[in-house]
Chains A and B, each alone.
Chain A
């Protein structure tokens, strides 16, 4: 079974530039998550999709971050404009739908450096 795919793996941009990350979840997984992990901290949930609808985006800085999940499969996360404090690893995860199935399967992440 193929895992969660993310691209690019690394990205370096200057502050005020824009950047986009792509995620392809495990086939058939209804739920998709984007996390931000700052160095030395645990991952923090930014947004959760169920199929192509947003379930939770309470921690997404909506003035600069946006995300979409077209057709309930792939997803993109965009930052515009980037700030220095956005330097982090952006992780995508997916999960099957089910009342007791909370397991999330994570991709390798995209390491973003904002200079």
Chain B
């Protein structure tokens, strides 16, 4: 079974600074997807960024980028130029690539607070 571990329950950062959230996972699969989801107080889960395991290039989406280390099974999220609106719970998630089924396995989350 796959597991996802987020070792930082809470983090804080000053506005405009950079913060990195950690995520490690355990799987025997070779082909899979990794995601970072954001859950603000409104509760709606929003996809921040995704990575296909077979791609060596790290994904980037504007101020968000990942450091994907497949051998180390590590998938960290870097948020640059942090904004107050980035305050939220961040969840790392794993999805096995297979013909059917879309099961996401989530970590416990990191609560990020951006301070003015």
Genuine A/B complex: no
